[in-house]
Structure 1
Amino acid sequence: MSRRKIPHVSWRSCQLAAAAALVALLTAALLTYPADAESDKPVRPAALALHLGHALDASRTSTADALHVQAAAQAAAHRRAEAKAAAKRQAAAEAAAKREAEAAARRAALVEQQARAQAARERAEQRAARSAPRASTATVSGARSYARSRLSGDQYACLDRLIHRESGWNHRATNPSSGAYGLMQALPGSKMSSAGADWRTNPVTQIRWGLSYISSRYGNPCGAWNFWQQNRWY
């Protein structure tokens, strides 16, 4: 909505109005000046001048009052316009603050949702770790079977290629330069202790840790394999 314009009266217009008022007052003064009882006596100049002086003072006062009223009206209109503009700015600022607060709340809810999902995955992995057989399947063959039981055929194929490139399915493979260890070449190898204390010797423990790592970082084994093909590490 456009700002209401305050009417402006030029000083020339005010002068013309004042002059017109003065002429009208002088005319009225001449018409209303009291004549002597005897019509043949001339009008006293001093008395007429005094009467005209009073009329002129009244005209000046009236003009000054009119200008003062006009200035006061313009100032009041200006204050109302400024107050309306300030209220509009305040409303815009409050609306922006509300939108920002809502966006922050949505971001916080998303972070909380992701944290809950991650915690649920970790709990599921821990339950799987506790229920997974250890002694009889602590072999590379057992590790392969464990991986197949948790992946689709395509995803297992990607995992197989990845591990073949990393360790050749040797669960004791050690990189002499970096110290990476195991089927997944974890760096450092001790990170796999989160999946079990037997991470050094149990291929199933290593696979369990590897699947968790790949899921959190790449989403699935094919994502990790695609990354490896481009970078020769994952």
Structure 2
Amino acid sequence: MADTQELTAEQKTGLNQGFMKFFAKPFETKYEDKFVESEFWEAVEGFKAHGKELGLPEDPIEYMKKKGSFPNYEAVRDYLKAGPPAFAREGWVSEFVGETVDTKELIGRCEYLAGPKFLGDERVVVLDFWATWCGSCIEAAPVISDWAEKQTGKVAVVGINNDAIFGPDKPHDLEKVKTAVEAKKDVMRYTIVVDSDHQAKNDIFMKAGFMGVPCMVVVVDNKVTFVGDFEAKAFQDALDAAIEVTARPKEE
């Protein structure tokens, strides 16, 4: 392993692209009983040939092994065969849907950073769990901002920052978050708070079961109606349904 040469930036990119081409994409829907062993080993040969085209003197799995991704092709096979986690599969619905969330109390425990102050008057609240290191979260921000501004008075959108969203609870680097929010103030134009005591993370995010960010949680009249991916059609459907609710009298 010590003799494995360092890759150039171009080779690293090519290796990642090769993994997507030969493994990730072809097998993304072929897991469990749909997995075909022979197809996988054909993909392995294609991946090896790809490595030679990149100018790698060794089997490309050696470079993946070096960076701690997969120790061998059997590990790649087992990973693909297991398929994605439940929350990433089509048709997944969080068990947290239907649970009660006191959004006013929840946001009140967070530290306000930017955007409109959350008063808790809106019947529909969209919680956006995000982290400063999450590129997808930043990319989603302008779309979320545009939508939030169109629904002013009907819907409150609150971005809940927690950079330790996937790890153990630890003190927040508030200056880092403030700097990130200030740099993106033109695209993050909704309420931004920091999950000060990790209550939102532990009581909402972890229980909701969607282990990805951004994680969107739609709450209507303090009842969770959706948990999941920002880009999912189900998210837009949940938003449309939530807007319809605001047109009807609130049930006591």
* Shorter-chain TM-score range: under 0.3
TM-score (normalised: structure 1): 0.24
Q: Answer 1 or 2: which has greater strand percent.
A: 2
Q: Which has the higher contact order (CA 8 A, sep 6+)?
A: 2
Q: Answer 1 or 2: which has greater helix percent.
A: 1
TM-score (normalised: structure 2): 0.23
**Structure (1 or 2) with the larger CA radius of gyration:** 1
